Amino acid sequence: MTAQPATARFTLVISGAPYTSQAPQSALRFAEAVLSAGHAIERVFLYGDGVHLASSYAAPPSDEPDWPEMWAEFLQQHRIAATCCVASALRRGLLDHTEARRYQRPGVNVRSCYTVAGLGDWLEAEQAADRTLYFKDGGG
């Protein structure tokens, strides 16, 4: 009998913004490869400028890739948990329903596939994963 290879679990942290860094693009390609290889993604955590991926208001020109939309479709298709750092999101004007009510703002612009939460979610995901990879400005 042949033993099945162990499945690795990954947490991905994206801190580079779409359109100003390669981080979201590199992370998406890596995530696709991870799943294709039979591994799992525990959580995607957006931090710093990476929270711009969660914006439902991003509207790139029609001849450019829509990275926020591509990420949302990927997360929903594969049912992967995704979190935006609450401090990073608030500093950049990204609000979910809870934060919009808390700060008495009229609109919500965080896509529904993301949870806005603190670093505790990141720490939990990091502990549950075998590996954590960081995708920052410059694609690394």
Query: What are the Cα distances from residue 55, in Å, to 21, 60, 70, 71, 92?
Result: 16, 12, 12, 11, 10
Q: Which two tokens stand for residue 91?
A: 């500093």
Q: Could you confirm whether 113 is annotated as catalytic?
A: no
Element (H, E) at 13: strand 9-14
Of 85, 86, 95, 129, the catalytic one is 85
106, amino acid identity: P
Q: Distance (Å, rounded) from C-alpha 76 to C-alpha 81?
A: 9
Active site residues: 85
